[in-house]
A = this chain, B = another copy of it.
């Protein structure tokens, strides 16, 4: 099949030993300049590149990071992946990407598979099912094996590792407060991602504000089945007297806008809408969505940075920390 030039072949052709060739390629000062030149010349000629596998086997480093993502069709994770890839490749690391499709079983499989010397470390966002089941043995194994893991966004307190999260609670507090400040009092909170840790945090933030405000009423709608999102939201909008919606995820907000349009409600004069995740839908809705940006790219990049720092560093005992990325409210046209 594939036949690549090896040190052996170069050595033979140059009448040198393998080790001399190896050293020459590294410009080892103990080799004569003349030999170094000869070696480089032939290596260039054959476009020699060391076999990454052999180097990895020897060094016990693969310069590869395993990425475990619950989804890729979700813009948030796509952006995060982009951030990770950029940062990793800048630092000389490859990434191998696995998509769990929100399944616990696949997550376990992937982690095990990658743990067998294919990757130096992991960047993980937990799958929905894993968060529901609350089972994390597969990460304990990594811990025991001393394999660095950085989790982002979808994390768990029960795993001891570095984490990068978004300040979801603070974000939703700000969003709600913004709605209140712009005159809304009958606020609905719509979510399609009820089970996730992030949704819970966002909800907490919302409650914290509305519970302490007599003038504001809060109604919740949690929809699960993707097929009936639209109808449910449409009915909800029709049957409830509200003047604002906070969508806990991008889809919820986008659908809210469209259903409002359909029902003839004016946005934002009749209903203000704020969403989460500054993705394509937010930018290309009409009117454009006011949204909480989680800076997904930064999140990914930061996760990669932390992991690579740990990988390249020789720091032995390392205290795990959780870093919080600030969100920002991007005010566009769906709010007053």
Contact = CB atoms under 8 A, between A and B. Distances in A.
B73 A75 contact: yes
A87 to B, nearest CB: 12
B116 A50 contact: yes
A241 to B, nearest CB: 22
Task: Please indicate which of the listed interface residues A52, A114, A146, A251 has the most CB atoms of chain B within 10 Å of its own CB.
Answer: A52
A133 interface: no
A82 B100 CA distance: 10
B286 A3 contact: no
Contacts of A279: 280
Task: Please indicate which of the listed interface residues A89, A280, A281 has the most CB atoms of chain B within 10 Å of its own CB.
Answer: A280
Give the number of times this chain occurs in the complex, counting copies: 2
Interface string A265-277: 0000000000000
Interface residues of A, number: 58
Q: Which 7 A-B pairs have the closest CB atoms?
A: A258-B286, A96-B96, A97-B97, A53-B117, A254-B284, A49-B116, A53-B57
A284 B1 CA distance: 48
B116 A51 contact: yes
A96 B98 contact: no
A255 to B, nearest CB: 7
Interface string A48-87: 0111111011001010100000001101001101100110
B284 A52 contact: no
Interface string A83-123: 00110010000111111000000100010111111100000
Nearest to A48: B116
Given A257-B286, A284-B255, A113 B94 contact: yes
A177 interface: no
A118 B119 CA distance: 12
A117 B284 contact: no
A145 B280 contact: no
Given A72-B85, A284-B254, A52 B146 contact: no
Interface of A: 1-4, 47, 49-54, 56-57, 60, 62, 64, 72-73, 75, 78-79, 81-82, 85-86, 89, 94-99, 106, 110, 112-118, 141, 145-147, 251, 254-255, 257-258, 261-262, 279-281, 284-286
Given A53-B57, A85-B97, A258-B286, 12 more contacts: A4-B117, A4-B145, A47-B141, A72-B81, A73-B79, A78-B78, A85-B99, A94-B113, A95-B96, A96-B97, A257-B286, A286-B286
A254 to B, nearest CB: 5
B116 A52 contact: yes
A190 to B, nearest CB: 14
Nearest to A297: B73
A204 B64 CA distance: 43
A332 to B, nearest CB: 12
Nearest to A141: B47
B49 A112 contact: yes
A48 B72 CA distance: 31
